[in-house]
Homo-oligomer: A and B are copies of this chain.
């Protein structure tokens, strides 16, 4: 799942370690020098394998970036699912949402490499659709809760709202961590207000 594009199915254990090592090196390179600094030859060298071996684990550079992004997405998604699971009322949902936003913002601040991974995704034409797909998955989690809490509302409208709120959440995070901390905090607060008002509106 995390590495869906492997060239062959290898003798599990060692190759799994190899893949982990490759992704760790890649994360490191991106964290230290930005999303444009990922060179396949350097990635191989720093991981301690040859370029040929690297291409046995990942069919191309996009696959490396995709694996990084999917790992990160899976974490966030699990976090979102868990955070929303308990919300049994509109007020609880608003609270859960607010604290999810805070958590995610904290994560972005603590590990700016997440933003760089997203940059790498957007820099790759073959991967740009990932962002919408991920917003859609997260939106579906939120929409499921909303439908429970508002059984008579228009489902299509709920879905659109949930998708938008999740997508704009990502956009807000990326904006917030690219400005200074004070302003970033204000942006996140404004986003929370907007999103929660829309979610709890009649």
Q: Which residues of A contact B (CB under 8 A)?
A: 34-36, 119, 122-125, 128-129, 132, 135, 156-157, 160-161, 163-164, 167-168, 171-172, 175, 178-179, 183, 186-187, 189-191, 193-195, 197-198, 201
Contacts and interface: CB of A to CB of B under 8 A. Distances in A.
Given A197-B194, A197-B198, A198-B197, A160 B175 contact: no
A195 B35 CA distance: 32
A167 B175 contact: yes
A97 to B, nearest CB: 14
Oligomer: number of copies: 2
A190 B164 contact: yes
Interface of A is mostly: helix
Contact of A168 (B157, B168, B183): B168
Given A160-B186, A186-B156, A198-B193, A175 B132 contact: yes
